[in-house]
């Protein structure tokens, strides 16, 4: 009977540890999703700026060479 109680106690400990791990992973995943959303927003903004700069120039397409500092 004592062996059965020890096994049940061990299973309860494992279950508690797994629940803690799942909570930790869920929290980490939520943070990563927030970072990904932020990065996608920044990428959209940069893409929009590139498109806006290209459309302002008239017939010439936007080029990264236009961004080279004058001392190069």
- 37 part of a folded domain: yes
The CA distance from 12 to 8, in Å, is 6
DSSP letter for 72, please: -
Work out the percent of the chain whose per-residue pLDDT is above 70. 83
Work out the percent of the chain whose per-residue pLDDT is above 90. 62
Per the confidence metrics, is the pTM higher than 0.85?
no
- 62 part of a folded domain: no
Across 52-60, average pLDDT:
67
- 26 part of a folded domain: yes
Across 17-39, average pLDDT:
98
- 65 part of a folded domain: no
- 11 part of a folded domain: yes
Range of the domain at 39: 2-50
**pLDDT tier, 60 (very low <50, low <70, confident <90, very high otherwise):** low
- 57 part of a folded domain: no
- 18 part of a folded domain: yes
């Amino acid at each position: 009977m004592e062996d059965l109680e020890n096994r049940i106690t061990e299973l309860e400990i494992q279950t508690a540890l797994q629940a803690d791990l799942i909570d930790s992973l869920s929290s980490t995943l939520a943070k990563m999703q927030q970072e990904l959303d932020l990065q996608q927003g920044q990428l959209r903004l940069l893409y929009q700026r590139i498109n806006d700069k290209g459309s302002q120039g008239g017939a010439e397409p936007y080029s990264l060479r236009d961004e080279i500092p004058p001392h190069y």
